[in-house]
Amino acid sequence: MLKWRLGFKFILIVVLILSVTLGLNMSLMLRNQQQLLEDELIERGRVLGHFISLISPEAILSFDFLRLNEYAREVTQQRDVVYGILVDPQGRAMTSYVNLEDALIRPLVPAEEQHPNLGVLLRQLDSRPELITMSFPVVHDGQPLAHLMVGLSRSALTAQSRQQLLYQSLIYATVILVLSTGIYLVFRWNVLFPVRRLMNASQEVSRGDFVQLDVRTKDELGALTETFNAMVRDIREERAKLHHQANYDVLTDLPNRMMATERLSYKISRARRDGEQLAVLFIDLDDFKVVNDTMGHAVGDELLIALGERFKSRLREVDTIARLGGDEFLVLLPEPGTEEEVKQVATRLTETVAEPVRLLGRDVSVQCSVGIAIFPDDGDNAETLMANADNAMYQAKALPRSSVCFYTPEMNRRVQERLQMEQDLNQALERGQFHLNFQPLVEARGGAHLGAEVLLRWKHPEKGFISPADFIPVAETTGQIIAIGDWVLERAAAFWSELQRSGIEPGFLAVNVSRVQFGNAISKRVAEVVADYRLPPGSLELELTESVLLDDVELVKSELRQLRMMGVKLALDDFGTGYSSLSYLKRFRFDQLKIDRSFVSGLPHDADSASLVNAIVAMAHGLDLQVVAEGVETVGQLEQIGRLGCDLAQGFLIARPMDGASYRSYLRQRDQRAAFSPREQDGNRRS
């Protein structure tokens, strides 16, 4: 449409210019020609008139009318002459001759009339534009004898001009046609074709086919083609760059999650067509965060790059290795063979990861967990297979390091349960399904009551009591722990001031806090609670696990400093189960260290447990920390921890966790006991 329009416009302009030019030219030429013919006609009339006026006097003087008639007829028979009349000085016609055959006369004179009335005829002819009248005096010796009137007709001249115009028009029309066609063809070849070629190429580029055109001329169109080629090259390079950025991981240059999903979908469709299997391996590094935290992110990045390289070199050409993000990798194994063979590949990959990498002059080694899902048994699309391999990887994480787990439908059930728990947790707070339990903490030697640990309880309307060990990790991953933790803190503070108002000395309350709460400015929240309930210094303790200390070191440090400034005590919970790193104890100031139940349970008979507790106590006391033994269940254990130097004890032997009302009566009874045996209490104080 557009091509036609441009051609049409162009040819219209060409035709117009040619027509105007040739038309003007023609009209000028015809006018000149007509003028020339008319001049010639007049000249002919004049010559004739002069000639007759010269020879007429003799005939007039001799009254030879026959001769005069002869002259008049002779004149009138000449081409284009309408009449010839000789008039005497009085105006009477001496002789006349009218050309009755002339086209001008014929309509005026009836066919049968041979001698028309001259006066009438001349008047009728007078206004006709075709008529040219001429008059010549006939003189003899200076005396006028008569004058000759000659009428000439332009009709023949006009007819000739018309014919000329027709021929000329035909010739010019042919010239215009030929010229326009020629010019159009030249235009079409030199302009329309290259433009159309560019248009077609642009369309192909927009379809993703980056064609290059050959430059055929050195004119503007050639330059335009060159510019087009350069533009296409730029677009192609830019596209390739964008494609790479969108599909490849910047750090390792391995395919990213998007590309991995795309390839997986493609390989699934091929495996389905060929009736083959396909293995999806989900690899997650264990404690990669520790590398980042202790050696810096640059070293962490180097490690990921090195592992990426290694993975690539240890896999087959047909396999795919991708980095999904963070410390997660995905491997696709087409035609994986038996389950045993897949396991061998996975184990080889865990060994590959475990090989030390030299970074900053140190050998760094990490481990990984691998989850495996197989097409078609464990899912028939990319999303399901990846999710199931991920589930299996989580199971592997729960096992000892460098474990490999195959997906089982059972895992999915656990995932479903977890999802359900997340939903139920959303409503637990609003529906008042949470309440607090309190478990007393006493002096290890002497048994004086010092405070209690606050333990959260969830009574699910259908499932009954759910252990915090089950729901706290879920609430931590979803972030629900922030609202729940706030509630625990608030309720514990409220309970403390209630106890005090009712005249009971509550001792301190130890509240467990999660690492997630640290990311949410816990010190601010604690400050509000301390102020709202006017908690005196020492009445509130926070229990943290070592995992908190793995997070943003500066943030945790400053939060802990602010908490201490408020007079809040800090305890390191479950010591011995995590990293138990002495550097943490040096870096962060604590008041108490709680030895995990697993060390106490072996006492008093297990010598290893005893020496471990002994060492921990020595170290803690060296750092000016009180030691709490958790999970004291027997008298033997209590005596042993006392002997080993633990300062506080907590466990079922002293009291099981109890609800608020029970704890209140527990405290009342304690106060009564103390009132009745002041000496015992004194003794306790002394010991």
**Binding residues for Mg ion (CB under 5 A):** 512, 543, 573-574, 630
Of all residues in the shown chain, the one whose CB is closest to Mg ion is: 543
Q: Which backbone phi and psi does 287 adopt, to 5 degrees?
A: 55, 35
Given Mg ion, ligand C2E, none, residue 652, with its beta carbon under 5 to 8 Å by kind, binds ligand C2E
Given Mg ion, ligand C2E, none, residue 467, with its beta carbon under 5 to 8 Å by kind, binds ligand C2E
CA separation for the pair 502, 663 (Å, rounded) = 13
Nearer to ligand C2E, 88 or 633 (CB): 633
Nearest alpha carbon to residue 673 among 281, 340, 665: 665
Dmax of the chain from CA atoms? 195
Token readout for 414 is: 């656990």
Interaction site with ligand C2E (CB under 6 A): 439, 455-456, 467-469, 472, 485, 488, 512-514, 543, 573-574, 597, 630-633, 650-652, 657
Nearer to ligand C2E, 424 or 630 (CB): 630
Given Mg ion, ligand C2E, none, residue 369, with its beta carbon under 5 to 8 Å by kind, binds none
Given Mg ion, ligand C2E, none, residue 95, with its beta carbon under 5 to 8 Å by kind, binds none
Contact 276, 270 (CB under 8 A): yes
Residue with structure tokens 């010190």?
A: 523
CA separation for the pair 26, 40 (Å, rounded) = 21
Nearer to ligand C2E, 8 or 652 (CB): 652
Contact 554, 587 (CB under 8 A): no
Nearer to Mg ion, 104 or 625 (CB): 625
Given Mg ion, ligand C2E, none, residue 633, with its beta carbon under 5 to 8 Å by kind, binds ligand C2E
Q: C-alpha dihedral over 100, 105, 109, 112, to 10 degrees?
A: 20
Strands (E), 72-111: 81-87, 93-98
Q: Which backbone phi and psi does 500 adopt, to 5 degrees?
A: -65, -40
Using CA atoms, how far residue 650 sits from 439, 659, 672, in Å, is 7, 16, 21
Nearer to ligand C2E, 319 or 453 (CB): 453
Given ligand C2E, Mg ion, none, residue 469, with its beta carbon under 5 to 8 Å by kind, binds ligand C2E
Question: Minimum distance from CB of 580 to ligand C2E (Å)?
Answer: 15
Question: Minimum distance from CB of 594 to Mg ion (Å)?
Answer: 5
Identity of the amino acid at 479: G
Question: Minimum distance from CB of 544 to Mg ion (Å)?
Answer: 9
Nearer to ligand C2E, 284 or 543 (CB): 543
Given ligand C2E, Mg ion, none, residue 657, with its beta carbon under 5 to 8 Å by kind, binds ligand C2E
Nearer to ligand C2E, 99 or 437 (CB): 437
Question: Minimum distance from CB of 491 to ligand C2E (Å)?
Answer: 10
Nearest alpha carbon to residue 658 among 673, 671, 668, 648: 668
Question: Minimum distance from CB of 443 to Mg ion (Å)?
Answer: 18
Token readout for 471 is: 């729901």
For 189, which DSSP code?
Answer: I
CA separation for the pair 670, 440 (Å, rounded) = 11
Nearer to ligand C2E, 375 or 508 (CB): 508
- Map 626-638 to HEC letters: EEEECCCCCHHHH
CA separation for the pair 551, 17 (Å, rounded) = 84
Question: Minimum distance from CB of 632 to ligand C2E (Å)?
Answer: 6
Contact 271, 332 (CB under 8 A): no
Nearer to ligand C2E, 150 or 472 (CB): 472
Nearer to ligand C2E, 323 or 491 (CB): 491
Contact 201, 213 (CB under 8 A): yes
State the number of CA atoms in the 13 A half-sphere of 48 facing the CB: 27
Question: Minimum distance from CB of 582 to ligand C2E (Å)?
Answer: 21
Question: Minimum distance from CB of 652 to ligand C2E (Å)?
Answer: 4
Q: Which backbone phi and psi does 625 adopt, to 5 degrees?
A: -115, 145
Residue with structure tokens 């009428």?
A: 151
Question: Minimum distance from CB of 520 to ligand C2E (Å)?
Answer: 13
Residue with structure tokens 């001698």?
A: 115
Question: Minimum distance from CB of 486 to Mg ion (Å)?
Answer: 17
Contacts (Cβ under 8 Å, ≥6 apart) of 412: 388, 391
Question: Minimum distance from CB of 628 to ligand C2E (Å)?
Answer: 10
Q: 330, exposed or middle or buried, with CB in 10 Å at 0-12, 13-18, 19+?
A: buried
Token readout for 264 is: 């997986």
CA separation for the pair 489, 632 (Å, rounded) = 26
Question: Minimum distance from CB of 602 to ligand C2E (Å)?
Answer: 13
Question: Minimum distance from CB of 573 to Mg ion (Å)?
Answer: 4
Q: Which backbone phi and psi does 65 adopt, to 5 degrees?
A: -70, -25
Given Mg ion, ligand C2E, none, residue 572, with its beta carbon under 5 to 8 Å by kind, binds none
Nearer to ligand C2E, 116 or 468 (CB): 468
Contact 417, 635 (CB under 8 A): no
Q: 3-state DSSP: the chain helix, strand, coil percent, rounded to 5?
A: 55, 20, 25
Residue with structure tokens 């004049």?
A: 46
Question: Minimum distance from CB of 527 to Mg ion (Å)?
Answer: 22
Nearer to Mg ion, 168 or 545 (CB): 545
What is the pairing mode between strands 508-512 and 449-460? parallel
Nearer to ligand C2E, 391 or 609 (CB): 609
Q: Which backbone phi and psi does 624 adopt, to 5 degrees?
A: 65, 40
Nearer to ligand C2E, 132 or 454 (CB): 454
Question: Minimum distance from CB of 237 to ligand C2E (Å)?
Answer: 53
Nearer to Mg ion, 133 or 581 (CB): 581
CA separation for the pair 254, 4 (Å, rounded) = 51
